[in-house]
């Protein structure tokens, strides 16, 4: 399934492509995000979140356990940024799909 372009609106009716029908379901219910822009935004958020988490892990870890603190911080920062950015993109796409109807 190819990435959808930012301005792509699926056509209504029986001639609708499989990609267009799938994107409507992905926007309103659940599923993978096929928009390149959204995925790049989420990637940037994850990299930034992992860096912030790693820095926080290094600062708050005991001096002898700094590498473990960095690893735990990277993991927690990555997890939080994935969940937060995914939720924000999902809510934005949900409301934009509802407006189109």
Position 16 scores a pLDDT of: 59
Range of the domain at 84: 34-100
Confirm whether 14 is domain-assigned. Answer: no
Query: Residue 50: which of 24, 22, 25, 82 has the closest Cα?
Result: 82
Confirm whether 76 is domain-assigned. Answer: yes
Tokens representing 86 are 């995914």
Confirm whether 25 is domain-assigned. Answer: no
List per-residue pLDDT tens for the chain, 101 residues long: 566 666 655 554 555 566 666 666 766 666 676 778 888 888 999 999 999 999 999 999 998 889 999 999 999 999 999 999 988 887 887 888 788 77
Position 12 scores a pLDDT of: 47
Confirm whether 55 is domain-assigned. Answer: yes
Confirm whether 64 is domain-assigned. Answer: yes
Confirm whether 89 is domain-assigned. Answer: yes
Tokens representing 38 are 């959204």
End-to-end alpha carbon distance in the chain = 24
**Three-state DSSP class for 4?**
strand
Confirm whether 47 is domain-assigned. Answer: yes
Phi, psi angles (nearest 5°) of residue 95: -70, -35
Confirm whether 53 is domain-assigned. Answer: yes
- Number of domains into which the chain is organized: 1
Tokens representing 10 are 């699926």
């Amino acid at each position: 399934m190819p990435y959808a372009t930012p301005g792509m609106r699926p056509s209504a009716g029986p001639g609708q492509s499989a990609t267009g029908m799938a994107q409507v379901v992905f926007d309103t219910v659940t599923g993978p995000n096929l928009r390149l822009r959204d995925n790049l935004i989420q990637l940037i958020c994850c990299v930034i979140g992992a860096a912030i988490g790693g820095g926080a892990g290094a600062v708050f870890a005991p001096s002898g356990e700094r590498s473990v603190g960095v690893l735990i911080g990277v993991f927690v920062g990555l997890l939080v940024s994935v969940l937060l950015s995914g939720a924000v993109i999902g809510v934005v796409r949900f409301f934009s799909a509802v407006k189109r109807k």
